Amino acid sequence: MYQASSPNGSLILLAALLWACGNSADAQPGTPSKAVRSVATAPPMQQIAFSEVQSQYFTIKRLLQTRLNQRAYPFDTLEFPRALSASERSKLARSGSAAVIGSCATGAWLIYGAHESVDGRTPTVGWADVLVDLAHEVLLFRTNVRNIGFPEAVWRASLVEAEAVGIQIAFDISSGKLAPNPKEMMVSSLRGHAGRYDDKIGQAYEDLERYRLLNDGRFPEVVSADGCGAGERFIDIKTVPAGGTVSLIPSFLATVCEQMGKQVDAGRDCGHWFDVASQTVAVSGKYRYKVTWSDGRTRHGAYDFDKAPEKLEVVFRKD
């Protein structure tokens, strides 16, 4: 069995916890939620307990497991949606074609896009992006390799260790211990952190390859794929009267807060709100919004930016 070299004791305990409850999402999926895509940037830095980050991860994973069970977006194009028969698996192995699994794009990009200004700056990754990317990749890997037919004992230990490291990365970003990566459409927010996550998830793929070679090629080679994007649009955001402050939260992350019993409209309680710093932003999908004017008046609601008018201008009015 592959043995992790954990940076601290908490990772060992977390890996044990993930091992113990790794199948709970299959047995008790979360409340069904409508598939959405929206946008986000990193929330303001605040001190967040490790237990809070861990709890949000399990909530995100449960919500995504529900979509996976329903084959809803972004799991509607799952590479191996059903278990292969022995003959189908052998045919794939004999063809010499690799079984390409993993995300067509990273989880956060698929689920709620990205938020950036039009001046070319690359938005930074929030710790919530890391958790969404992690849950998305874990669920894709686990479902696909199960359906290909690889025994769980071959790959599960390495996947659990990768999951524990991913949660630790998110916590380190939330606490300021680790600088976030720039948000790039083609690259998961988990990548590039001194090899910490890459090494662990890479070990899971090595476990599959070792098992394939030991079984005389009766299983196909398994490789990971990245790419694609969420199809963001450039939108001009204005307020009437002018001068209003527009705050947005991805609908998916708002749902996460609600599932955890948090008040979404209370920024400190649900810390994934961000202010629109530029008049023009690149966005994708559904948000909840809040507009505040200098006289204290506010307006809030929901908006699907994919349905914005052709002139790509959205106006939030006080009255």
Rounded CA separation 199/192 (Å) = 10
Whether the per-residue pLDDT at 270 is higher than 70: the answer is: yes
Between 208 and 235, whose confidence is greater? 208
| Residue entry with tokens 């490789």 | 223
Check residue 265 and give its pLDDT.
Answer: 82
Q: Can you read off the two tokens belonging to residue 210?
A: 């070792």
Among the listed residues 75, 151, 138, the one whose alpha carbon sits nearest the alpha carbon of residue 110: 75
Question: What rounded mean pLDDT belongs to the chain?
Answer: 78
Give the chain's end-to-end CA distance (angstroms, integer): 64
With bands split at pLDDT 50, 70 and 90, how would you rate the model's confidence at 312? confident
Between 153 and 109, whose confidence is greater? 153
Lowest mean pLDDT among 5-19, 168-182, 201-215, 279-293: 5-19
Max mean pLDDT among 9-23, 115-129, 206-220 falls in 206-220
Percent of the chain residues past pLDDT 70, beyond the cut: 73
Q: Can you read off the two tokens belonging to residue 3?
A: 């043995």
Whether the per-residue pLDDT at 85 is higher than 90: the answer is: yes
Is the distance from CB of 16 to CB of 157 less than 8 angstroms? no
Check residue 47 and give its pLDDT.
Answer: 76
Rounded CA separation 32/256 (Å) = 12
Whether the per-residue pLDDT at 187 is higher than 90: the answer is: no
Check residue 204 and give its pLDDT.
Answer: 95
Q: What are the beta bridge partners of residue 275?
A: 247
Check residue 36 and give its pLDDT.
Answer: 30
